[in-house]
Amino acid sequence: MNNRINQLFQEKDKNILSVYFTAGYPELNDTVTIIQELEKNGVNLIEIGMPFSDPVADGPVIQNSSLIALKNGMSVKKLFEQLQNIRKTVKIPLILMGYLNPVLQFGVENFCKKCQEVGIDGLIIPDLPLNEYLSEYKSLFEAHQLHNILLITPQTSDERILQIDAESSGFIYMVSSSSTTGMKQSVAKYQTEYFERVNRLGLKNPQLIGFGISNHETFQNTCKYAGGAIIGSAFVKALEGELTLNERISGFVKTIVNPE
Amino acid sequence: MNYQVNDKGYYGEFGGAFIPEMMYPNIEELRREYMSIIHSYDFRQEFISLLKHYVGRPSPLYFAKRMSEHYQSNVFLKREDLNHTGSHKINNTIGQILLAKHLKKKRIIAETGAGQHGVATATVCALMGVQCVVYMGALDVKRQAPNVKKMRMLGAEVIPALSGNQTLKDATNEAMRDWINNPVDTHYIIGSVVGPHPYPDMVARFQSVISEEIRWQLDEQLGRELPTRVIACVGGGSNAAGAFYHFLEDEAVELIGVEAAGKGISTPDTAATLTLGTPGVLHSSHSYLMQNEDGQITEPYSISAGLDYPGIGPLHAHLFKTGRGKYLWATDEEVLQSALLLTRKEGIIPALESAHALAALEKIKLQPEDVNIINLSGRGDKDMETYLDYFGY
């Protein structure tokens, strides 16, 4: 498989900035604007969150944005409608991130087909573990040119990291600390030991670090240990406020990449 | 037909372990260890001894004479309401606290709906001197205030879950998040036969003491081990799993689960998951759920906080799908009447949850020679306010 995700990592191996947002938040129809503005401001990769009523791996910020998005009327079907023409304007890789049940109800095969049709490059489904992925989903994802991006944490053993690396593609999502999203604001010593442990394994997939990356300092720090970093809760939080949506997005990306 | 879990954690097409990677080390440790621990000599000795001397087992199998006259059939009550802490929940928490001790865990977390599982967990944590945190929906904290006070007196920290509808499902979400944030030294005592494998099997095994006792007690009283039917209420389904367990292979025994229909199965205010739900994944397990067409979980309702859950254990999903189990429902109204009937006929005030099982006696064609076992899973102390409001005493 060789899609926009592979091309990104071939062209850029340092300081990749990936941003997550919840589709349908703050307003139902902000999805396309947010994607276009993120690209315009130099973000390299976007994770479009599909809201779920019971997001167990998420902290309060993304729980809240998911709840509001659902109240606004977001659904998997609606999201695909919004993304129908996204590839006419957006070139960077796009990933859909969300929980398994809405995907199951949409129909896994149908879901993969729609992803390919609108130009999605990868999926992150935190509650689809490796063994279930291998037995039921892998061939379908691959047939539709979709990378399945799997998570590893400080508690993941070397043996399992190597197994995940062998069975997944695109990149590896390194969860920086054992936590739900948006819970920690700094990078502690045990985390750098974990980052170094992963680096020594010499994985075939590049890695991005996520969870707890919220500002220029944490972005810089984590970028030392991986191809780049993922920001979610801090961006979702920044979408609230007085300014226009475009100003909020450009202002936020600037504080991460170049705060001067 | 085989009704046991397979080595991949499935009952037919239901079950599995759809966990985020953050939970993998804990779940994998449990999966690897639980069978050898619960079959070890030390564990068995301590478990059996605590059930006998601390919980007060065996619980009586009581022939309810006046109820039997009323229904013109034989009605037996399995008195789980007489257990220490007032329900069957303690069977599971005793098992899991011993398991946690073997795994050298120092901190216990739990979710609770009505507060029965929370109290049972806080109780065993006090017994073992282990730190205890219980998540409870903020709405349930209000409507089950006496149990909240009990848990606090027992030394547990009760944290109100403020997300969603603020009931059992949300408490479960918060407990799972706690486990993700505390991956070392913490054991999550799930209160029902739900959640990722191996929980449904593990909890069913700890509760299976109920049907183990029913068999020999019935033999002692009637000279036969098999009843005509076993009836139990189902939310997540732990008391029903325990009451059915040793009869699963005896296909002549009817297994009847009773779901909470709330205000009725044609209203949105219901928790009858098998009657109305469709298959999907919630809380790491593939089973029937109350959900909309986008796969978002819908909020259940029942007068009984312990049955107010939008999913059901995968064992029950399998029994339902294969036809081995029959699943009926009872409305709030029917349940309240059945609770009053038992109170007046036998002098036993049942929990609202257990009264769902009693309500099934109105819905089944009973023969005079039938032997009907009702699993009376809990007592009604915690529901007095609801009863008093309704009946106006």
Domains and CATH numbers, chain B: 20-50+89-203 (3.40.50.1100), 56-86+207-391 (3.40.50.1100)
Per the CB < 8 Å rule, is B21 touching A56? no
Considering the candidates A30, A37, A47, A165, report the single residue annotated as catalytic: A47
Per the CB < 8 Å rule, is A128 touching B18? yes
Say how far residue B185 (Cα) sits from the centre of its chain. 26
A110 Cβ under 8 Å from any chain B Cβ: no
Per the CB < 8 Å rule, is A76 touching B284? no
Residue A178's pLDDT is what? 81
Q: What is the mean pLDDT of residues B129-144?
A: 94
Residues on chain B touching A99 (C-beta within 8 angstroms): 281
Q: How confident is the model at residue A92 (pLDDT cuts 50, 70, 90)?
A: very high
Angle, nearest 10°, between helix axes A31-40 and A245-257? 40
CA atoms of B170 and B158, how far apart (whole Å): 14
Residues on chain B touching A66 (C-beta within 8 angstroms): none
Question: CA nearest A184 in B: which residue?
Answer: B181
Per the CB < 8 Å rule, is B295 touching A106? yes
* Partners of B256 in the β-ladder: B231, B326
Q: Is residue A2 scored above 90 in pLDDT?
A: no
Cβ pair B221, B192 in contact under 8 A:
no
Is A3 domain-assigned?
no
Q: What is the mean pLDDT of residues A151-169?
A: 97
Interface size between A and B, measured as CB pairs under 8 A: 107
Indicate the residue type of B160.
Answer: P
Residue A187's pLDDT is what? 67
| B61-63: strand order across its sheet | B61-63, B74-79, B371-376, B229-234, B254-262, B325-331
Q: What is the mean pLDDT of residues A27-40?
A: 98
* Tens digit of each residue's pLDDT (9 = 90 or more) over B45-100: 999 999 999 999 999 999 999 999 999 999 999 999 999 999 999 999 999 999 99
Q: How confident is the model at residue A259 (pLDDT cuts 50, 70, 90)?
A: confident
Is A202 domain-assigned?
yes
* Closest CA–CA distance from residue B197 to any residue of chain A (Å): 13
Residues on chain B touching A155 (C-beta within 8 angstroms): 22, 24-25, 183-184
Q: What is the mean pLDDT of residues A77-96?
A: 98
A106 Cβ under 8 Å from any chain B Cβ: yes
* Closest CA–CA distance from residue B23 to any residue of chain A (Å): 9
A76 Cβ under 8 Å from any chain B Cβ: yes
Q: Is residue B379 scored above 70 in pLDDT?
A: yes
Instruction: Mark out chain B residues that contact chain A at CB-CB < 8 A.
Output: 8, 16-22, 24-25, 163-164, 169, 173, 176-177, 180-184, 280-284, 289, 291, 293-297
ipTM greater than 0.90, yes or no?
yes
Pairing mode, strands B74-79 and B61-63: antiparallel
> Residue holding tokens 């979710």?
B111
* Six-digit token string for A247: 């100003």
Nearest by CB to A129, which of B24, B295, B296? B24
Cα dist from A34 to A43, A235, A243, B160, whole Å = 11, 11, 14, 35
Per the CB < 8 Å rule, is B297 touching A56? no
Considering the candidates A30, A39, A58, A121, report the single residue annotated as catalytic: A58
Is A227 domain-assigned?
yes
Is A4 domain-assigned?
no
Q: What is the mean pLDDT of residues A166-186?
A: 87
Indicate the residue type of B59.
Answer: S
List, in order, residues 6 or more apart from A109 with CB less than 8 Å away: A140
Is A1 domain-assigned?
no
Total domain count, chain A: 1
Indicate the residue type of B295.
Answer: G
Q: How confident is the model at residue A32 (pLDDT cuts 50, 70, 90)?
A: very high
Indicate the residue type of A17.
Answer: L
* Tens digit of each residue's pLDDT (9 = 90 or more) over B177-224: 999 999 999 999 999 999 999 999 999 999 999 999 999 999 999 999
* Tens digit of each residue's pLDDT (9 = 90 or more) over B253-297: 999 999 999 999 999 999 999 999 999 999 999 999 999 999 999
CA atoms of B121 and B126, how far apart (whole Å): 9
Per the CB < 8 Å rule, is A179 touching B181? yes
* Closest CA–CA distance from residue A146 to any residue of chain B (Å): 20
- Find residues 49-68 of chain A whose CB sits inside 8 Å of chain B: 52-57, 59, 63, 67
CA atoms of B214 and B243, how far apart (whole Å): 8
Nearest by CB to B294, which of A76, A100, A153? A76
Q: Is residue B383 scored above 80 in pLDDT?
A: yes
Residue A72's pLDDT is what? 98
> Residue holding tokens 């946690």?
B100
Domain that holds residue A65: 12-257
A246 Cβ under 8 Å from any chain B Cβ: no
CATH number, residue A177: 3.20.20.70
Q: Is residue A189 scored above 80 in pLDDT?
A: no
Cα dist from B83 to A228, B57, B123, B295, B377, whole Å = 56, 7, 12, 39, 9
Considering the candidates B73, B87, B89, B238, report the single residue annotated as catalytic: B89
Residues on chain B touching A68 (C-beta within 8 angstroms): none
Q: Is residue A185 scored above 70 in pLDDT?
A: no
A79 Cβ under 8 Å from any chain B Cβ: no
Is A2 domain-assigned?
no
Per the CB < 8 Å rule, is A127 touching B284? yes
Residue B149's pLDDT is what? 96
Q: What is the mean pLDDT of residues B312-316?
A: 98
Active site residue B40: no
Residue B144's pLDDT is what? 86
HSE toward the beta carbon, residue B251, CA cutoff 13 A = 6
Omega prior to B196 cis, within 30 of 0: no
Residues on chain A touching B288 (C-beta within 8 angstroms): none
Residues on chain B touching A151 (C-beta within 8 angstroms): 20-22
Is A135 domain-assigned?
yes
Cβ pair A96, A22 in contact under 8 A:
no
Of the segments A170-179, A184-193, B50-59, which one has the largest average pLDDT value? B50-59
* Tens digit of each residue's pLDDT (9 = 90 or more) over B95-125: 999 999 999 999 999 999 889 999 999 999 9
Residues on chain A touching B164 (C-beta within 8 angstroms): 53-54, 67
Active site residue A240: no
A8-12, A48-52, A185-189, B330-334 — which is least confidently predicted? A185-189
Per the CB < 8 Å rule, is A105 touching B294? yes
- Of the candidates B18, B31, B22, B24, the one whose C-alpha atom is nearest the C-alpha of residue B286 is B18
Return the residue in A64, A70, A105 with the most chain B beta carbons within 10 A, the one to mutate for interface testing. Answer: A105
CA atoms of B324 and A96, how far apart (whole Å): 40
Is A130 domain-assigned?
yes
HSE toward the beta carbon, residue A245, CA cutoff 13 A = 15
Per the CB < 8 Å rule, is B163 touching A57? no
Nearest by CB to A178, which of B8, B181, B281? B181
CA atoms of A175 and B169, how far apart (whole Å): 26
Q: Is residue A77 scored above 90 in pLDDT?
A: yes
Q: By percentage, how much of chain A surpasses pLDDT 90?
A: 90
